[in-house]
Amino acid sequence: MFGAGSQFRKFFNDPRWALALIRATVLEAAHPQVGAALIDNSTFVTHPWRRLRNTFRSVQRMFAEDERERLREAARLNRLHARIAGADGRDRPYDAMDPEVRAWVVTTLFESAVTMYRLSGQPLQQEEMERLYAECRAFLTMLGDDGGHLPADVADFWPYYDRVVAEVLENTDAMRIILFKLFDHLPVPSVLGGFPTLWAAGRSLAGPLLGAVTVASLPESFRRRTGLPELPGAQALMQGAYVTAGLTRFLPEGWIRADAIADLLTLSPDSDDPRMRTITELNKQIKRAGALIRLISPLPLPREPEPESPVQRSAEEFFGEVLDQTGDGFLDWPDLAAMARELSTRLDLDEPQETRLYNAYADWWRELQSHLDTDGDGRISRQEYAAAVPSLAGPALIKVAEVLFDATDKDGNQRIDADEYRALFRAGFHRDLTTEDGTYSRSAFINDFLSFMSGRHRTTPYDPLLTQA
Protein backbone atom coordinates (compact mmCIF):
# COMPACT_ATOMS: atom_id res chain seq x y z
CA MET A 1 0.00 0.00 0.00
CA PHE A 2 2.87 2.42 0.74
CA GLY A 3 6.42 3.10 -0.37
CA ALA A 4 7.80 3.11 -3.89
CA GLY A 5 5.15 0.76 -5.29
CA SER A 6 2.10 2.76 -4.19
CA GLN A 7 -0.14 4.58 -6.64
CA PHE A 8 0.17 7.83 -4.70
CA ARG A 9 3.96 7.72 -4.97
CA LYS A 10 3.54 7.78 -8.76
CA PHE A 11 1.77 11.13 -8.52
CA PHE A 12 4.49 13.06 -6.71
CA ASN A 13 6.50 13.96 -9.82
CA ASP A 14 3.56 14.07 -12.25
CA PRO A 15 2.82 17.70 -13.29
CA ARG A 16 -0.85 16.78 -13.73
CA TRP A 17 -0.99 16.24 -9.99
CA ALA A 18 -0.67 20.01 -9.47
CA LEU A 19 -3.95 20.55 -11.34
CA ALA A 20 -5.60 17.63 -9.53
CA LEU A 21 -4.42 18.87 -6.13
CA ILE A 22 -5.90 22.34 -6.74
CA ARG A 23 -9.18 20.70 -7.75
CA ALA A 24 -9.15 18.49 -4.65
CA THR A 25 -8.48 21.52 -2.44
CA VAL A 26 -11.48 23.34 -3.91
CA LEU A 27 -13.73 20.34 -3.27
CA GLU A 28 -12.40 20.11 0.29
CA ALA A 29 -13.07 23.81 0.86
CA ALA A 30 -16.64 23.38 -0.41
CA HIS A 31 -17.40 21.16 2.61
CA PRO A 32 -18.88 23.48 5.27
CA GLN A 33 -16.68 22.18 8.08
CA VAL A 34 -13.46 22.25 6.06
CA GLY A 35 -14.30 25.67 4.62
CA ALA A 36 -14.92 27.16 8.05
CA ALA A 37 -11.72 25.64 9.45
CA LEU A 38 -9.71 27.10 6.55
CA ILE A 39 -11.18 30.58 6.97
CA ASP A 40 -10.55 30.63 10.73
CA ASN A 41 -7.23 28.84 11.03
CA SER A 42 -5.37 28.46 7.75
CA THR A 43 -2.62 30.62 6.24
CA PHE A 44 -3.39 29.43 2.70
CA VAL A 45 -4.14 32.99 1.49
CA THR A 46 -1.23 34.87 3.04
CA HIS A 47 1.38 32.08 2.95
CA PRO A 48 0.34 29.73 0.12
CA TRP A 49 3.85 28.60 -0.86
CA ARG A 50 4.71 27.75 2.72
CA ARG A 51 1.46 25.82 3.02
CA LEU A 52 2.13 24.00 -0.27
CA ARG A 53 5.58 22.87 0.81
CA ASN A 54 4.40 21.62 4.20
CA THR A 55 1.43 19.76 2.66
CA PHE A 56 3.65 18.13 0.04
CA ARG A 57 6.14 16.99 2.69
CA SER A 58 3.34 15.55 4.80
CA VAL A 59 1.89 13.48 1.93
CA GLN A 60 5.37 12.24 1.09
CA ARG A 61 5.90 11.08 4.64
CA MET A 62 2.52 9.39 4.83
CA PHE A 63 3.49 7.23 1.85
CA ALA A 64 7.14 6.72 2.82
CA GLU A 65 8.94 3.38 2.77
CA ASP A 66 9.62 3.42 6.52
CA GLU A 67 6.58 2.53 8.61
CA ARG A 68 7.97 4.43 11.59
CA GLU A 69 8.10 7.60 9.50
CA ARG A 70 4.50 7.07 8.40
CA LEU A 71 3.26 6.52 11.96
CA ARG A 72 5.21 9.52 13.22
CA GLU A 73 3.64 11.77 10.57
CA ALA A 74 0.18 10.38 11.31
CA ALA A 75 0.65 11.25 14.99
CA ARG A 76 1.79 14.76 14.05
CA LEU A 77 -1.26 15.28 11.82
CA ASN A 78 -3.57 14.10 14.59
CA ARG A 79 -2.01 16.56 17.04
CA LEU A 80 -2.40 19.36 14.48
CA HIS A 81 -6.04 18.50 13.74
CA ALA A 82 -6.92 18.12 17.41
CA ARG A 83 -6.11 21.84 17.86
CA ILE A 84 -8.55 22.96 15.16
CA ALA A 85 -12.20 23.29 16.21
CA GLY A 86 -14.79 26.04 16.39
CA ALA A 87 -17.97 27.28 14.72
CA ASP A 88 -18.70 28.96 11.40
CA GLY A 89 -20.64 32.18 10.78
CA ARG A 90 -23.93 30.29 11.17
CA ASP A 91 -22.85 28.77 14.52
CA ARG A 92 -22.39 25.34 12.96
CA PRO A 93 -19.56 23.51 14.73
CA TYR A 94 -16.50 22.24 12.92
CA ASP A 95 -13.87 19.82 14.17
CA ALA A 96 -10.80 18.78 12.18
CA MET A 97 -10.85 15.41 13.97
CA ASP A 98 -14.36 14.56 12.71
CA PRO A 99 -13.81 11.20 10.95
CA GLU A 100 -16.48 11.87 8.33
CA VAL A 101 -14.81 15.16 7.41
CA ARG A 102 -11.40 13.53 7.21
CA ALA A 103 -12.91 10.82 5.02
CA TRP A 104 -14.13 13.54 2.66
CA VAL A 105 -10.65 15.07 2.45
CA VAL A 106 -9.21 11.70 1.40
CA THR A 107 -12.16 11.25 -0.97
CA THR A 108 -11.24 14.43 -2.85
CA LEU A 109 -7.69 13.14 -3.37
CA PHE A 110 -8.90 9.82 -4.77
CA GLU A 111 -11.63 11.26 -6.99
CA SER A 112 -9.39 14.06 -8.29
CA ALA A 113 -6.65 11.54 -9.14
CA VAL A 114 -9.14 9.44 -11.10
CA THR A 115 -10.42 12.57 -12.84
CA MET A 116 -6.84 13.66 -13.60
CA TYR A 117 -6.18 10.49 -15.56
CA ARG A 118 -9.54 10.60 -17.32
CA LEU A 119 -9.20 14.22 -18.46
CA SER A 120 -5.69 13.66 -19.77
CA GLY A 121 -6.79 10.73 -21.92
CA GLN A 122 -5.35 7.94 -19.77
CA PRO A 123 -8.23 6.58 -17.68
CA LEU A 124 -7.16 4.26 -14.87
CA GLN A 125 -7.77 0.58 -15.34
CA GLN A 126 -10.19 -0.96 -12.85
CA GLU A 127 -7.40 -2.77 -11.01
CA GLU A 128 -5.36 0.44 -10.68
CA MET A 129 -8.40 2.33 -9.44
CA GLU A 130 -9.16 -0.33 -6.83
CA ARG A 131 -5.57 -0.30 -5.60
CA LEU A 132 -5.60 3.49 -5.32
CA TYR A 133 -8.85 3.36 -3.40
CA ALA A 134 -7.44 0.74 -1.03
CA GLU A 135 -4.49 3.06 -0.35
CA CYS A 136 -6.89 5.88 0.51
CA ARG A 137 -8.74 3.70 3.03
CA ALA A 138 -5.40 2.58 4.47
CA PHE A 139 -4.42 6.25 4.80
CA LEU A 140 -7.47 6.84 7.01
CA THR A 141 -6.76 3.72 9.04
CA MET A 142 -3.21 4.94 9.70
CA LEU A 143 -4.68 8.15 11.09
CA GLY A 144 -6.69 6.03 13.51
CA ASP A 145 -10.06 6.50 11.79
CA ASP A 146 -12.42 3.65 11.07
CA GLY A 147 -12.15 2.75 7.40
CA GLY A 148 -15.92 2.32 7.44
CA HIS A 149 -16.35 6.07 6.97
CA LEU A 150 -15.55 5.34 3.33
CA PRO A 151 -17.48 2.67 1.39
CA ALA A 152 -15.82 -0.74 1.27
CA ASP A 153 -15.14 -0.77 -2.48
CA VAL A 154 -15.02 1.44 -5.55
CA ALA A 155 -18.46 0.35 -6.75
CA ASP A 156 -20.09 1.77 -3.59
CA PHE A 157 -17.81 4.81 -3.54
CA TRP A 158 -19.43 6.69 -6.44
CA PRO A 159 -22.96 6.84 -4.94
CA TYR A 160 -21.37 8.09 -1.69
CA TYR A 161 -19.42 10.75 -3.60
CA ASP A 162 -22.47 11.90 -5.57
CA ARG A 163 -24.53 12.15 -2.37
CA VAL A 164 -21.98 14.37 -0.59
CA VAL A 165 -21.63 16.61 -3.65
CA ALA A 166 -25.42 16.97 -3.94
CA GLU A 167 -26.37 17.25 -0.26
CA VAL A 168 -23.37 18.54 1.72
CA LEU A 169 -21.10 20.76 -0.37
CA GLU A 170 -21.76 24.50 -0.42
CA ASN A 171 -20.50 27.65 -2.10
CA THR A 172 -18.30 28.47 0.90
CA ASP A 173 -16.19 31.58 1.45
CA ALA A 174 -13.02 29.48 1.42
CA MET A 175 -13.90 27.93 -1.93
CA ARG A 176 -14.59 31.34 -3.50
CA ILE A 177 -11.31 32.73 -2.16
CA ILE A 178 -9.35 29.88 -3.72
CA LEU A 179 -11.10 30.18 -7.08
CA PHE A 180 -11.48 33.94 -7.47
CA LYS A 181 -8.93 35.60 -5.19
CA LEU A 182 -5.98 33.34 -4.43
CA PHE A 183 -4.93 32.73 -8.03
CA ASP A 184 -5.34 36.38 -9.03
CA HIS A 185 -3.42 37.68 -6.00
CA LEU A 186 -0.93 34.86 -5.48
CA PRO A 187 2.10 36.42 -3.76
CA VAL A 188 5.46 36.13 -5.44
CA PRO A 189 7.49 33.22 -4.01
CA SER A 190 10.66 34.26 -2.21
CA VAL A 191 12.89 32.77 -4.88
CA LEU A 192 11.38 35.16 -7.47
CA GLY A 193 11.31 38.19 -5.19
CA GLY A 194 13.70 40.00 -7.53
CA PHE A 195 11.25 39.81 -10.43
CA PRO A 196 8.02 41.39 -9.09
CA THR A 197 6.98 42.88 -12.43
CA LEU A 198 7.55 39.64 -14.31
CA TRP A 199 5.61 37.72 -11.67
CA ALA A 200 2.70 40.17 -11.70
CA ALA A 201 2.47 39.99 -15.50
CA GLY A 202 2.50 36.20 -15.54
CA ARG A 203 0.02 35.97 -12.69
CA SER A 204 -2.44 38.32 -14.38
CA LEU A 205 -2.64 35.88 -17.29
CA ALA A 206 -2.24 32.51 -15.57
CA GLY A 207 -4.43 33.24 -12.52
CA PRO A 208 -7.78 33.59 -14.31
CA LEU A 209 -6.94 30.68 -16.63
CA LEU A 210 -6.11 28.40 -13.72
CA GLY A 211 -9.35 29.38 -12.00
CA ALA A 212 -11.34 28.71 -15.18
CA VAL A 213 -9.69 25.29 -15.66
CA THR A 214 -10.46 24.33 -12.07
CA VAL A 215 -14.09 25.44 -12.24
CA ALA A 216 -14.60 23.55 -15.52
CA SER A 217 -13.25 20.34 -13.93
CA LEU A 218 -15.71 20.39 -11.01
CA PRO A 219 -18.84 18.19 -11.09
CA GLU A 220 -21.41 19.75 -13.39
CA SER A 221 -24.25 19.36 -10.90
CA PHE A 222 -22.24 21.25 -8.27
CA ARG A 223 -21.38 24.05 -10.70
CA ARG A 224 -25.07 24.50 -11.56
CA ARG A 225 -26.25 24.41 -7.96
CA THR A 226 -23.69 26.91 -6.69
CA GLY A 227 -23.85 29.19 -9.73
CA LEU A 228 -20.15 29.00 -10.52
CA PRO A 229 -19.40 30.87 -13.74
CA GLU A 230 -18.01 28.97 -16.70
CA LEU A 231 -16.14 30.86 -19.40
CA PRO A 232 -16.84 30.06 -23.06
CA GLY A 233 -14.38 27.40 -24.19
CA ALA A 234 -13.42 26.50 -20.60
CA GLN A 235 -14.02 22.79 -21.17
CA ALA A 236 -11.66 22.72 -24.14
CA LEU A 237 -9.12 24.79 -22.17
CA MET A 238 -9.35 22.36 -19.25
CA GLN A 239 -8.91 19.33 -21.51
CA GLY A 240 -5.92 20.94 -23.19
CA ALA A 241 -4.31 21.80 -19.83
CA TYR A 242 -4.51 18.22 -18.57
CA VAL A 243 -3.38 16.69 -21.89
CA THR A 244 -0.45 19.11 -22.16
CA ALA A 245 0.64 18.42 -18.58
CA GLY A 246 0.35 14.70 -19.30
CA LEU A 247 2.79 14.95 -22.22
CA THR A 248 5.59 15.70 -19.77
CA ARG A 249 5.63 11.99 -18.91
CA PHE A 250 7.74 11.57 -22.05
CA LEU A 251 10.53 13.72 -20.59
CA PRO A 252 13.63 11.88 -19.34
CA GLU A 253 13.23 10.49 -15.84
CA GLY A 254 14.31 12.89 -13.14
CA TRP A 255 13.77 16.06 -15.16
CA ILE A 256 10.74 16.99 -13.08
CA ARG A 257 11.04 16.46 -9.35
CA ALA A 258 8.21 17.88 -7.29
CA ASP A 259 10.23 17.91 -4.07
CA ALA A 260 12.98 20.00 -5.71
CA ILE A 261 10.39 22.46 -7.07
CA ALA A 262 8.67 22.73 -3.68
CA ASP A 263 12.01 23.42 -1.99
CA LEU A 264 12.98 25.97 -4.62
CA LEU A 265 9.75 27.96 -4.27
CA THR A 266 10.34 28.43 -0.54
CA LEU A 267 14.03 29.38 -0.64
CA SER A 268 14.61 32.70 1.10
CA PRO A 269 16.67 35.40 -0.69
CA ASP A 270 19.44 35.20 1.92
CA SER A 271 19.74 31.41 1.65
CA ASP A 272 23.21 30.03 0.97
CA ASP A 273 21.70 27.26 -1.16
CA PRO A 274 23.67 27.04 -4.46
CA ARG A 275 20.42 27.33 -6.42
CA MET A 276 19.66 30.65 -4.73
CA ARG A 277 23.10 31.97 -5.64
CA THR A 278 22.45 31.06 -9.27
CA ILE A 279 19.08 32.86 -9.23
CA THR A 280 20.62 35.91 -7.56
CA GLU A 281 23.28 36.09 -10.24
CA LEU A 282 20.61 35.73 -12.94
CA ASN A 283 18.68 38.57 -11.32
CA LYS A 284 21.77 40.78 -11.49
CA GLN A 285 22.28 39.98 -15.17
CA ILE A 286 18.63 40.80 -15.98
CA LYS A 287 18.92 44.14 -14.18
CA ARG A 288 22.09 44.95 -16.15
CA ALA A 289 20.31 44.08 -19.38
CA GLY A 290 17.41 46.30 -18.35
CA ALA A 291 19.78 49.19 -17.67
CA LEU A 292 21.35 48.73 -21.11
CA ILE A 293 17.94 48.76 -22.80
CA ARG A 294 17.04 51.98 -21.01
CA LEU A 295 20.26 53.58 -22.29
CA ILE A 296 19.75 52.69 -25.94
CA SER A 297 15.97 52.95 -26.08
CA PRO A 298 14.65 56.07 -27.83
CA LEU A 299 11.71 56.18 -25.44
CA PRO A 300 11.99 56.19 -21.66
CA LEU A 301 10.87 52.94 -20.08
CA PRO A 302 9.27 52.84 -16.64
CA ARG A 303 11.90 52.04 -14.11
CA GLU A 304 11.22 49.33 -11.61
CA PRO A 305 11.85 50.66 -8.10
CA GLU A 306 14.52 48.97 -6.06
CA PRO A 307 13.12 47.12 -3.08
CA GLU A 308 13.80 48.84 0.19
CA SER A 309 14.48 47.06 3.46
CA PRO A 310 14.59 49.69 6.17
CA VAL A 311 15.81 48.61 9.56
CA GLN A 312 12.83 50.20 11.29
CA ARG A 313 9.37 48.74 10.79
CA SER A 314 6.17 50.55 11.68
CA ALA A 315 3.60 48.95 13.97
CA GLU A 316 1.14 48.67 11.06
CA GLU A 317 3.73 46.95 8.86
CA PHE A 318 4.68 44.51 11.60
CA PHE A 319 1.04 43.71 12.25
CA GLY A 320 0.33 42.93 8.59
CA GLU A 321 3.60 41.20 7.74
CA VAL A 322 4.15 39.11 10.86
CA LEU A 323 1.31 39.00 13.36
CA ASP A 324 -1.72 38.60 11.07
CA GLN A 325 -0.78 35.15 9.76
CA THR A 326 -4.29 34.30 8.51
CA GLY A 327 -4.74 37.62 6.71
CA ASP A 328 -8.17 38.48 8.15
CA GLY A 329 -7.09 41.89 9.44
CA PHE A 330 -7.10 40.88 13.12
CA LEU A 331 -4.76 39.21 15.56
CA ASP A 332 -6.23 36.30 17.48
CA TRP A 333 -5.25 32.82 18.62
CA PRO A 334 -5.26 31.15 15.15
CA ASP A 335 -2.53 33.60 14.07
CA LEU A 336 -0.24 32.64 16.92
CA ALA A 337 -1.14 28.97 16.51
CA ALA A 338 -0.05 29.27 12.86
CA MET A 339 3.33 30.57 14.06
CA ALA A 340 3.73 27.65 16.44
CA ARG A 341 2.67 25.24 13.70
CA GLU A 342 5.24 26.59 11.22
CA LEU A 343 8.08 26.55 13.74
CA SER A 344 7.16 23.03 14.89
CA THR A 345 7.15 21.90 11.26
CA ARG A 346 10.52 23.47 10.51
CA LEU A 347 12.11 21.85 13.55
CA ASP A 348 10.20 18.56 13.04
CA LEU A 349 9.19 18.52 16.71
CA ASP A 350 7.69 15.58 18.56
CA GLU A 351 5.93 15.59 21.87
CA PRO A 352 6.39 17.08 24.43
CA GLN A 353 8.39 19.89 22.79
CA GLU A 354 5.63 20.65 20.29
CA THR A 355 3.05 21.10 23.06
CA ARG A 356 5.49 23.25 25.06
CA LEU A 357 5.84 25.59 22.07
CA TYR A 358 2.07 25.79 21.52
CA ASN A 359 1.52 26.44 25.24
CA ALA A 360 4.12 29.21 25.24
CA TYR A 361 2.38 30.89 22.32
CA ALA A 362 -0.99 30.45 24.06
CA ASP A 363 0.38 32.23 27.13
CA TRP A 364 1.69 35.02 24.93
CA TRP A 365 -1.74 35.34 23.30
CA ARG A 366 -3.38 35.75 26.71
CA GLU A 367 -0.80 38.39 27.62
CA LEU A 368 -1.40 40.29 24.36
CA GLN A 369 -5.16 40.02 24.77
CA SER A 370 -5.10 41.39 28.30
CA HIS A 371 -2.96 44.38 27.27
CA LEU A 372 -4.27 45.24 23.80
CA ASP A 373 -7.88 44.09 23.40
CA THR A 374 -9.40 47.39 24.46
CA ASP A 375 -12.93 46.78 23.13
CA GLY A 376 -13.20 43.28 24.60
CA ASP A 377 -14.22 41.54 21.36
CA GLY A 378 -11.70 38.73 21.87
CA ARG A 379 -9.31 39.81 19.13
CA ILE A 380 -6.85 42.62 18.45
CA SER A 381 -7.34 44.98 15.52
CA ARG A 382 -4.57 46.73 13.63
CA GLN A 383 -5.63 50.01 15.25
CA GLU A 384 -5.55 48.54 18.76
CA TYR A 385 -2.08 47.19 18.18
CA ALA A 386 -0.77 50.41 16.64
CA ALA A 387 -2.23 52.51 19.46
CA ALA A 388 -0.48 50.41 22.10
CA VAL A 389 3.22 49.89 22.62
CA PRO A 390 4.41 47.88 19.60
CA SER A 391 7.57 46.89 21.43
CA LEU A 392 5.62 44.95 24.05
CA ALA A 393 7.87 42.10 25.12
CA GLY A 394 6.60 40.75 28.41
CA PRO A 395 7.40 37.55 30.29
CA ALA A 396 5.22 35.39 28.01
CA LEU A 397 7.11 36.40 24.85
CA ILE A 398 10.39 35.80 26.63
CA LYS A 399 9.10 32.31 27.45
CA VAL A 400 8.31 31.73 23.75
CA ALA A 401 11.91 32.64 22.90
CA GLU A 402 13.28 30.31 25.58
CA VAL A 403 11.11 27.38 24.48
CA LEU A 404 12.04 27.95 20.83
CA PHE A 405 15.73 28.02 21.72
CA ASP A 406 15.40 24.74 23.64
CA ALA A 407 13.58 23.14 20.69
CA THR A 408 16.27 24.30 18.26
CA ASP A 409 19.14 23.26 20.55
CA LYS A 410 18.76 19.54 19.85
CA ASP A 411 21.83 18.43 21.80
CA GLY A 412 21.03 20.61 24.82
CA ASN A 413 24.46 22.21 25.07
CA GLN A 414 22.94 25.72 25.38
CA ARG A 415 24.36 26.79 22.04
CA ILE A 416 22.94 26.55 18.52
CA ASP A 417 25.47 25.14 16.07
CA ALA A 418 25.44 25.45 12.27
CA ASP A 419 23.24 22.39 11.66
CA GLU A 420 20.70 23.39 14.32
CA TYR A 421 20.63 26.93 12.94
CA ARG A 422 19.97 25.63 9.43
CA ALA A 423 17.08 23.45 10.65
CA LEU A 424 15.26 26.55 11.92
CA PHE A 425 16.30 29.23 9.43
CA ARG A 426 17.00 27.03 6.37
CA ALA A 427 20.18 29.02 5.78
CA GLY A 428 23.73 29.16 7.04
CA PHE A 429 24.87 31.61 9.71
CA HIS A 430 24.20 35.11 8.42
CA ARG A 431 27.20 37.36 7.94
CA ASP A 432 25.74 39.97 10.31
CA LEU A 433 25.18 37.42 13.06
CA THR A 434 27.64 37.57 15.94
CA THR A 435 28.61 34.05 16.91
CA GLU A 436 30.97 32.72 19.52
CA ASP A 437 33.18 29.82 18.44
CA GLY A 438 30.90 29.24 15.46
CA THR A 439 27.74 28.92 17.58
CA TYR A 440 24.74 31.04 18.56
CA SER A 441 24.44 31.64 22.29
CA ARG A 442 21.19 31.40 24.23
CA SER A 443 21.22 35.05 25.28
CA ALA A 444 21.98 36.30 21.76
CA PHE A 445 19.20 34.14 20.28
CA ILE A 446 16.62 35.32 22.81
CA ASN A 447 17.59 38.98 22.42
CA ASP A 448 17.39 38.78 18.61
CA PHE A 449 14.08 36.92 18.69
CA LEU A 450 12.55 39.45 21.10
CA SER A 451 13.75 42.34 18.93
CA PHE A 452 12.05 40.76 15.93
CA MET A 453 8.79 39.61 17.57
CA SER A 454 8.27 42.86 19.42
CA GLY A 455 8.36 44.66 16.06
CA ARG A 456 11.31 46.91 16.86
CA HIS A 457 13.32 46.24 13.70
CA ARG A 458 13.79 43.92 10.77
CA THR A 459 16.33 41.15 11.07
CA THR A 460 17.47 39.25 8.01
CA PRO A 461 17.53 35.73 9.49
CA TYR A 462 14.23 36.06 11.37
CA ASP A 463 12.07 37.73 8.73
CA PRO A 464 11.71 34.61 6.51
CA LEU A 465 10.59 32.56 9.52
CA LEU A 466 7.08 34.02 9.58
CA THR A 467 6.80 36.48 6.68
CA GLN A 468 7.62 34.12 3.81
CA ALA A 469 4.73 33.57 1.39
Q: What confidence tens digit (pLDDT) does each residue in 286-312 have?
A: 556 555 555 555 545 455 444 445 556
C-alpha dihedral over 393, 395, 397, 398, to 10 degrees?
Answer: 100
How far apart, in Å, do the first and last CA atoms of the chain sit? Answer: 34
Mean pLDDT of 208-223: 92
- Whats the size of the chain, residue-wise? 469
Q: Which of 47-51, 252-256, 326-330 has the lowest mean pLDDT?
A: 252-256
- Cis-peptide, bond into residue 352, ω within 30° of zero: yes
Q: What is the pLDDT of residues 91-132, one digit of tens each?
A: 999 999 999 999 999 999 999 999 999 998 889 999 999 999
Output the DSSP codes for 109-158. HHHHHHHHHHHTT-PPPHHHHHHHHHHHHHHHHHTT--GGGS-SSHHHHH
Q: At what angle do helices 99-119 and 154-167 cross, to 10 degrees?
A: 110
Q: What is the pLDDT of residues 325-352, one digit of tens each?
A: 999 999 999 999 999 999 999 999 999 9
In this model, does residue 391 exceed pLDDT 60? Answer: no
Q: What is the pLDDT of residue 95?
A: 97
- Domains, the chain: 3-249 (no CATH), 315-467 (1.10.238.10)
Q: Which residue has the higher pLDDT, 190 or 342?
A: 342
Q: Which of 9-13, 121-125, 131-135, 248-252 has the lowest mean pLDDT?
A: 248-252
Q: What is the pLDDT of residue 314?
A: 80
Q: What is the pLDDT of residue 107?
A: 96
Handedness of CA 406, 411, 415, 417 (dihedral sign): negative
pTM of the model: 0.85
In this model, does residue 82 exceed pLDDT 80? Answer: yes
102 in Cβ contact with 143 (< 8 Å): yes
Q: Which residues pair with 416 in a beta bridge?
A: 440
Alpha carbon distances (Å) from 299 to 201, 285, 287, 294? 21, 22, 18, 8
Mean pLDDT of 70-89: 95
Mean pLDDT of 447-452: 88
Q: What is the pLDDT of residue 417?
A: 92
Q: Which residues pair with 293 in a beta bridge?
A: none
Q: Which of 1-5, 15-19, 22-26 has the lowest mean pLDDT?
A: 1-5
Burial of residue 47, with CB atoms counted within 10 A of its CB: 0-12 exposed, 13-18 middle, 19 or more buried: buried
Beta strands in 250-367 (DSSP E): 330-331
